[in-house]
Structure 1
Amino acid sequence: MISYLLRRILISLLVLIGISIVIFVMLHLISDSPGRVVLGPQASAAAVEAFNRENGFDRPLFAQYVDYVVQLLHGDLGRSYKLNEEVSVLFAQNAGRSAVLSLSGLVIALLIAIPLGILQAVRRNTVVDRAATGIAYLLYATPSFLVALLLIALLSQLVPLFPAEASQSTSPWVVFTDPRAMALPLITLALTNVVVFSQYQRSAALEQLGMDYIKVARAKGAPERVVLMRHLLRNACIPLITLVGVMIPTLLAGNLIVESVFNYPGLGLLFLNSLHREDYPVLLAYTLIGGALTVLGNLLADLVVARADRRIELSR
Structure 2
Amino acid sequence: MSTYSFLIRRVLQALAVVLLVTVVVFCLLHALPGGPARGILGPQATASQIAAFNHEQGLDKPLPVQYVYYLNQLIHGDLGMSYTLNEPVSQLITERLPKTLLLTVLSAVVGLLVAVPLGVWQAVRRNKPVDYVITTLSFIAYSTPVYFLGLILVLVFSQVLPWFPAQAPQGNSVADVLSQPQGLVLPVVAGAATMVAVFSRYMRSATLENLTEDYVRTARAGGTRPRAILTRHVFRNSLTPVVAMLGYYIPVLFGGALVVEQLFNYPGMGLLFWTAAQSSDYPVLLGCVLVISVATVTGTLLADVLQRVIDPRVKAGRS
TM-score computed with the length of structure 2 as normaliser: 0.91
The residue type paired with residue 32 of structure 1 is G
**Which residues in structure 2 correspond to 1:73-222 (within 5 Å)?**
73-174=75-176, 176-222=178-224
- Cα deviation code 1:268-302 (max 9, x no counterpart): 11112122222222222221222222222212211
- Cα distance change, pair 284–136 in 1 and its aligned pair in 2 (3 A): same
Q: 1:42 to 1:77 in 2, by over 3 A?
A: closer
Which whole-Å deviations, capped at 9, do the CAs of 1:205-232 have from their partners, x for residues lacking one? 1111111222222233323322221111
Q: Deviations over 1:104-158 (max 9, x none)?
A: 1110000000000000111111111111111111111111111111111221222
Q: Distance in 2 between matches of 1:252 and 1:145?
A: 14
Deviates more, 1:139-148 or 1:52-61: 52-61
> Of residues 9, 15, 35 in structure 2, which corresponds to 1:13?
15
What's the counterpart of residue 312 of structure 2?
Answer: 310
Compare 36-45 and 162-171 and name the one that shifted more: 36-45
Deviation at 1:199, TM superposition (A): 0.6
Structure 2 residues without counterparts, runs of 5 or longer = none
Aligned-pair CA distance for 1:204 = 0.6
Other-structure match for 2:298 = 296
Partner Cα distance (2:184, 2:309) in 1: 36
- Percent identity for Structure 1 against Structure 2: 45
CA RMSD of aligned residues (A): 2.2
| 1:226 aligned residue | 228
Q: Distance in 1 between matches of 2:315 and 2:161?
A: 54
The separation in 2 between residues aligned to 1:193 and 1:64, in whole angstroms, is: 41
> 1:72: how far off?
1.6
Amino acid at match of 1:88: S
| Higher mean C-alpha displacement, 179-188 vs 82-91 | 82-91
CA distance in 2, matches of 1:224, 1:123: 13
Where 2:305 maps in the other structure, the secondary structure is helix
**Cα distance per residue 1:177-201 (max 9 Å; x no partner):** 2121111101101112111111111
Bigger Cα displacement from structure 2, 52-61 vs 269-278: 52-61
Contact 1:96-1:252 within 8 A present in 2 as well: no
Superimposed CA distance per residue, residues 47-97 of structure 1 (whole angstroms, 9 cap, x where no aligned partner): 344333322334444332221111122332333233222222112211111
Question: Which sits farther off after the overlay, 267-276 or 113-122?
Answer: 267-276
User: TM-score with structure 1 length normalisation?
Assistant: 0.92
